[in-house]
Amino acid sequence: MAKFVFITGGVVSSLGKGITAASVGTLLKKRGLKVSILKVDPYLNVDAGTMNPFQHGEVFVTDDGAETDLDLGHYERFIDETLSEKNSITTGKIYSSVIKKERRGDYLGGTVQVIPHITNDIQERIISASQGLDVLIVEIGGTVGDIEGQPFLEAIRQMSVRVGRENVVYCHVTLVPYLEAAQELKTKPTQHSVQELRRIGILPNMLVCRTSHPMDQDMKNKIALFCNVPPEAVVEVRDEATIYNVPISLHRQGLDVLILKSLGLPFENELDLSDWARVVDRYINPPEEVKIALVGKYVQHKDAYLSVVEALHHAGIAHNVRVNIISVEAEDLEKGSPEKILSFADGILIPGGFGDRGVEGMIAAAKYARENNVPLFGICLGMQMMVVEFARNVCKLQDAHSKEMNPATLNPVIHLMEEQEKLKDLGGTMRLGAYPCDLVEGTRAAQAYGELKVSERHRHRYEFNNAYREKLEAAGLKISGVCKERDLVEIVELPGHIWYVGEQFHAELKSRPIRPHPLFDGFVEAAASYMRNK
């Protein structure tokens, strides 16, 4: 049976619980344990699929097509495991399934209540996600004291009764603010949030304190005394130059040993974090810098392209260059001159997106990069706009567009397929999750991957229109990746260009700090060579 680490948050949100959970996962996996991480989101949405990137940041997609919270991206990058639909639960998901069971009569006429029906369903999902593991880490989203979070906290309290207190660890991530006027750190908010946890029967084993200033031993002793934990169970996390240093910092303070001891697991062996140390060192001290223009439509939200940003950094780490990402609002390129706005860029990345706002700006960026031999990488909507640009300006299909842009005119080089059109009114037309992609030998894509059969994750509705394939290929666009079983175009490139690659899938979702994605790797390498030859 698996053991459990429950991670809660106190005082304020955005404390980095996700990074803490992911880092604990890294450390436990490095100890040879089989671990995974489950995210609990107390909102009423069934999944993150319908959520606006401006409000909620990126939607992370798993191999099995679940549209999840972006924390799952951190988990996969940190623990290097493939997660699934089971790794994400929301209030919406729980209530939908309980109500469905009630309608079916499964509760035999009983009164259906938050306790025990909702809390039982939560526990069943936690148990089911822990099958085959040594340790399941469960991150409870939100802050202790939120109304929405209460059933989840009650469920994790009951878990200790269900599986035994010795198989459960509660780790509370909290804020220790610095008061400028008093020139000191304050422990009261932490005391109060731990009291709140204890009021509902959860006694945290350890506290991870987010703070902007170093905490001395007296401060730790004080928190330990008031919060009823040993002083060594008070750990601090300050803002780091990179999130990839958090596992190293937590290990240095002994958090992993503390967790292992509490769970009765072996903790004596030394663990090797040299690969992470190398990632951090290369991230902080690279000798060179490349400037990448990120031409998107959600650029004001710092997390809207989180996985793309991380994937660029991973490639930078591999090539020992700092990737300086400069956001460019796609709409600005519709008003101003792309030559001026983009002249700084050593590479241009056009990421995914939905709706027609900003697409003409993306097309202008693609044209600029194609004509001036600047490295260009298009992802999903970005690839689609590269195709539209090529159709318009090279093939002279003047009214070429994507179905999303203007359904009324001719030449949708990016369109909905017939079977999708039929399903349109029913909603489910999105291609989600992993699909196989066959690469064409001798192409840049095949070279980058170093193999001919790959699998990549999707989240989109529109597809390259095969009716235009011949025309575009005759004009020089190379189709270098296809999904054979469904006859779909997955990757396009331009031979002879320094780096012109567009992909229909989301390569960023599979990049890791110690193993950058081949296409990001190739793109950043091309940008570095462009920068050196400028």
Q: Which parts of this chain interact with ligand GLN (CB under 6 A)?
A: 352-354, 380-381, 404, 459-462
Q: Which residue is nearest to ligand GLN, using beta carbons?
A: 352
Q: Which residues contact 130 (CB under 8 A, 6 or more apart)?
A: 1, 2, 4, 36, 136
Q: Of 42, 9, 25, 12, nearest to 155 (Cα)?
A: 42
313 is catalytic: no
Of 162 and 469, nearer to ligand GLN (C-beta) is: 469
Token pair 């193999």 is found at 451
Catalytic residue among 117, 319, 506, 517: 506
SS3 call for 135: strand
Q: Which is nearer to ligand GLN, 352 or 502 (CB)?
A: 352
Of the pair 187, 411, the CB lying nearest ligand GLN is at: 411
Say which of 171, 227, 380, 483 is annotated catalytic: 380
Catalytic residue among 58, 490, 503, 508: 508
Q: How far is the CB of 39 from ligand GLN (least distance, A)?
A: 21
Nearer CB in complex with ligand GLN: 75/298? 298
DSSP secondary structure, 252-291, as one string = HTTHHHHHHHHTT----S----HHHHHHHHHHH--SEEEE
CB of 460: closest distance to ligand GLN in angstroms? Answer: 3
What is the b/e burial string over 18-28, where b = at least 16 CB atoms within 10 angstroms of the residue's CB?
bbbbbbbbbbb
> 260-297 burial, b if ≥16 CB within 10 A, otherwise e?
bebbeeebeeebebeebeebbebbeebeeebebbbbbb
CB of 229 to ligand GLN, least distance (A): 44
Q: Phi and psi at residue 351, in whole multiples of 5°?
A: -85, -175
Task: Say whether 88 sits in a helix, a strand or coil.
Answer: strand
Q: How far is CA 502 from CA 205, 492, 506, 507, in A?
A: 49, 5, 10, 10
C-beta of 171: minimal distance to ligand GLN in Å? 35
Mark whether 506 is an active-site residue.
yes
Beta carbon nearer to ligand GLN, 117 or 460: 460
Return d(Cα 523, Cα 314) in angstroms, integer. 12
Give the residue with the Cβ less far from ligand GLN, 313 or 459: 459
Q: Shortest Cβ distance from residue 385 to ligand GLN (Å)?
A: 9
Question: Which pairing describes strands 88-90 and 35-41: parallel, antiparallel, or unpaired?
Answer: parallel
The reply to whether 380 belongs to the active site is: yes
Tell me the closest approach of the beta carbon of residue 355 to ligand GLN, in angstroms. Answer: 7
CA–CA gap between residue 152 and residue 6 (Å, rounded): 11
Catalytic residues: 380, 506, 508
